[in-house]
Structure 1
Amino acid sequence: MKYQVVIGLEVHTQLTTATKIFCGCSTRFGAQPNSQTCPVCLGFPGALPVLNQKVVEYAIRAGLATNCTIAERSVFARKNYFYPDLPKGYQISQFDLPICVNGHLDIDLEGGGTKRIGITRIHMEEDAGKLVHADIPGVGDDSCVDLNRACTPLLEVVSEPDMRSPDEAIAYLKKLHQIVVYLGICDGNLEEGSFRCDANVSLMPVGSNVFGTRAELKNINSFRFIKQAIEYEIERQAEILDEGGRVIQETRLFDPSTGTTRSMRGKEEAHDYRYFPDPDLVPVIVSPSWVDEVRQSLPELPDAKRERFVKEMGLPEYDAEILTSTRELAEYFDATVALFPQAKTVSNWVMGEVSRALNEDGKNVTECPVTPELLAALLKLIEKGTISGKIAKTVFDEMYKTGKEPEKIVEEKGLVQVSDTGAIEAIIDEILAREAGQVAEYRSGKDKLFGFFVGQVMRASKGKANPAVVNDLLLKKLAP
């Protein structure tokens, strides 16, 4: 039997606030275990939570960027369950009254076109701690708990079950990841768990509109692993159904070393958590004026930026896609174009030399020694004819190493382009005299030899000859 996959995603986005959601402890990653805790995040009796206003602001930002309705009144609830890394015995989350509802994202499909993926809700919650399984000297294999992460602020983004392939799921995840990083509310670091995903996967017969029993794949923090986990789960469930079996609703873990999922526990329903409003926290009231204030502060988002690059700057879709891949790269490009308003030329250099150098060094564009001001100054030298495009690449490499201004490098190394027709003509005459046989062949119809002569002149001039002048003089001198 043929099956249609149904996928819904729950994404946990760790926020970049300096302090936790209900206390003043630091959220810095990598500190000594249990060094960033207090009575509130440790769940001591009588310790009362106080909501971090910045978390609410970040939730509003995320909701607006994903086309959600922002609730004027939302309520925190206690999600009750017992686990070693949950010191209170419950998690403060939101249940029936979340802060953001009924949103959507439009994803690009591989075959062309777009598809709208619904977002059911976005709600605020606290993270749990972290279990560390290790071989402890003198003790042996054991599990320890680090509560530094407990009470760290999260946004959980819950999609509708609208995705019908692993590729659609990854496209949605990458778009959501790009948006939260653009907004500055999440660093997007998958390895550190700042952005992690639970995937709900089920199968239904092709032509049916009745969803099958779903399995939840828990806490996967790599786009590649998420795709692998979903693909394996599709195969596993199809095999069960083909053999006449029944898929069990459960939570499963993905093992990257084997590319398989394994059962973790039976899937809980909402009533299993015995949700009830948290008596220590008042309802969150968000005024329309606050929403408008946050809306005004939003940065230009990837889709809008991409559209502007294409429609207003005349860039190809491919260039716009690459340049908007990160907010920092787009801002670097924008800043350079503001100083040298030739968008395609700037795009070529940013996607070419700038990206090459950064990739070789493993650096982000924010760490680039060649600032937008320096890159624009280099491009102006090419435009003026001071240096050729080929020499400019040499100058760029020196700028990247030293951070020096291009004019100074050109002066120090004597790289000024030669445009003096007399000097170039002398070089050409010498080469044509030496290559009399090639000249005869060119004049007999072998036009491709023209490039040979250009190369010889550029080599003789050590790359300094103005290519336009070289081409013009060669055409005249090689004419029959």
Structure 2
Amino acid sequence: MSTTLIRGFEVVIGLETHVQLSTASKIFSGASTHFGAAPNTQACAVDLALPGTLPVMNKGAVDRAIALGLAVGAIVAPRSIFARKNYFYPDLPKGYQISQYEIPVVQGGSVSFFVGEQAHTVRLTRAHLEEDAGKSLHEDFAGFNGEKSSGIDLNRAGTPLLEVVTEPDMRSSPEAVAYARALHTLVVWLGICDGNMQEGSFRCDANVSVRRPGAALGTRREIKNLNSFKFLQQAIDVEIQWQIDQIEDGLPIQQATVLFNPDANGGRGETRAMRTKEDAHDYRYFPDPDLPPLVIAPEWIERVKATMPELPGVMAARFEKDYGLPAYDATMMTQSRAFAEFFENATKVSGAPKLVSNWLMGEVSRRLNAGEQGIESSPVDATLLGALVKRISDGTLPNNAARQVFEALWTGEQAGVAEALARVDAIIEAKDLKPMADTGELEKILDDILAANAKSVEEFRAGKEKAFNALVGQAMKATKGKANPATVNELLKKKLAG
């Protein structure tokens, strides 16, 4: 585990991620989980905790918990217990939340990912099933007199969640974000969560503390409800600086739950204590008497396993083996199922997997990221990219001219394989981008360059390698980039040695 010190302090981070499960109904009732309904129109008697109602476990939520457990290499508990987590808040109708405490359904496991090109693994403590609370509405909620007021929307009450808790293994905000992205990719890949962070389907709480190297763990503060990767990194960075400032000023860190305001301090952001952080005993956990233990037989686990797709890690290993990709490239190609499918389809057309991955990680991702779009929105589909890469790999199109063809394709229509190749060829022809095939013509150009750059020739012969690069640059400029760089290098060296 690599550690970067900040002002002489080591950062320790653990994440708790609330993954909203993709069931059509709630975890203990038949009410809909559809997003965007009018307030309190999707809260039934069970969600409202009316007298005489009893919770009934949603089997689909358990299926999804099992799938995650299998995907992260965890133990799926054969017997787990639901507990009542007692606290009082306006959006919690029962006065307690049904969750799991002592025996969660998923125990252990790990998530592996890259930070840049450095591999990392974060251990998971557990993943437990629980119900969501409702939502308090402030400021924009119009009261009965038309004045600004507060209200409670219980549509979310009872929505199924899987809370995924890590060990305190992360040592920087980029590492925490990379882990969160990897978990997000996994739950969407499995189909157990839609991953919509704007709608609250994937929310992170970050436990952050700092310490001097080798010291005991510091007092942590928990930043609640971070619903974007940008805010996750920004909030952690702000909290780190705040804690270090406190310690350097001789002030104690008090365990607390804090909120992040990204607009404070001129847009730099601020973490602000909301309440003193509770410990487990403050919630007075005890087994829920209305729910029997959750018993998961081996046959149930096998049924779920049979329905699971090829996992990203397994697919990445296959891409390394079958396509010869480096581990980093293989991981990037499996950042989503759509991305992986795009890569394989482009590779089928081009026969050049490494070159396809280079283009996907480079020009394609750059343009999509600029527009905050996914691979599904790429104007250049897999067939067209494959056709472009094929013409690069077979020598028809020089690398330095390929971006011009890509630019033309980005604004055009999609096509089949034959049509795609024809379109790429037509663009190459129209822009006169074919590589220079006449060696005699190239030799004449090189002779003229050597004659016009006697000083560079002398410097090269005196041992200055930069002079040779300058001559190559002159040759590429003179041929408008159509000469093969390898051929230019070879011919130049022969002429300079003569």
Name the TM-score class by shorter chain: 0.7 to 0.9
Equivalence for 1:178? 185
Distance 2:396 2:239 in 1: 61
Q: Which amino acid aligns with 2:285?
A: Y
Q: Which amino acid aligns with 1:57?
A: D
| 8 A contact 1:10–1:158 mirrored in 2 | yes
Equivalence for 1:15? 21
Equivalence for 1:326? 336
Match of 2:199 among 192, 202, 211: 192
In structure 2, the gaps of 5 or more residues are 1-6, 458-467
Match of 1:415 among 423, 426, 429: 429
1:226 aligns with 2:232: yes
**Offset at 1:220?**
2.4
| 8 A contact 2:384–2:421 mirrored in 1 | no
Q: Which amino acid aligns with 2:150?
A: S
Post-superposition CA distance 1:264-307 (Å, at most 9, x none)? 22333333333333333332221213223433444444444444
Matched residue SS, 2:273: strand
| 8 A contact 2:349–2:390 mirrored in 1 | no
**Offset at 1:151?**
1.7
From the superposition, tell whether residues 19 and 470 of structure 1 become closer, same or farther in structure 2 (CA, over 3 Å).
same
**Larger deviation: 192-201 or 56-65?**
192-201
**Offset at 1:155?**
0.7
Match of 1:402 among 393, 400, 413: 413
| 8 A contact 1:75–1:284 mirrored in 2 | yes
Distance 1:359 1:206 in 2: 37
Equivalence for 2:463? none
Post-superposition CA distance 1:397-455 (Å, at most 9, x none)? 4444212332453577693879899x9699889x96xx996574379985755665665
Match of 2:92 among 86, 97, 103: 86
**Offset at 1:261?**
2.7
**Offset at 1:124?**
0.7
**Offset at 1:125?**
0.9
From the superposition, tell whether residues 407 and 144 of structure 1 become closer, same or farther in structure 2 (CA, over 3 Å).
same
Equivalence for 1:265? 275
Post-superposition CA distance 1:233-275 (Å, at most 9, x none)? 4455555556665543332222322433332223333333333
**Offset at 1:99?**
0.3
Q: Which amino acid aligns with 2:299?
A: S
Equivalence for 1:278? 288
Equivalence for 2:383? 373
| 8 A contact 1:395–1:409 mirrored in 2 | no
Q: Which amino acid aligns with 2:139?
A: A
| 8 A contact 2:383–2:420 mirrored in 1 | no
Distance 1:420 1:222 in 2: 46
Match of 1:341 among 324, 344, 351: 351
1:151 aligns with 2:152: no
| 8 A contact 1:457–1:470 mirrored in 2 | no
1:288 aligns with 2:298: yes
Distance 2:259 2:455 in 1: 73
Distance 2:209 2:471 in 1: 64
Equivalence for 1:141? 148
Matched residue SS, 2:84: strand
TM (normalized to structure 1)?
A: 0.79
Equivalence for 1:127? 132
**Offset at 1:69?**
0.7
TM (normalized to structure 2)?
A: 0.77
1:248 aligns with 2:285: no
Paired residues, number: 469
Equivalence for 2:361? 351
1:297-336 aligned at under 5 Å gives the runs 297-336=307-346
Matched residue SS, 2:150: strand
From the superposition, tell whether residues 411 and 254 of structure 1 become closer, same or farther in structure 2 (CA, over 3 Å).
closer
Distance 1:371 1:392 in 2: 16
Equivalence for 2:78? 72
**Offset at 1:20?**
2.4
Q: Which amino acid aligns with 2:294?
A: V
Distance 1:133 1:30 in 2: 17
Distance 1:111 1:354 in 2: 19
Percent of residue pairs bearing the same amino acid type: 46
Q: Which amino acid aligns with 1:148?
A: N
Distance 2:90 2:435 in 1: 79
Q: Which amino acid aligns with 2:106?
A: C
**Offset at 1:165?**
4.7
From the superposition, tell whether residues 85 and 109 of structure 1 become closer, same or farther in structure 2 (CA, over 3 Å).
same
Matched residue SS, 1:415: helix
1:43 aligns with 2:49: yes
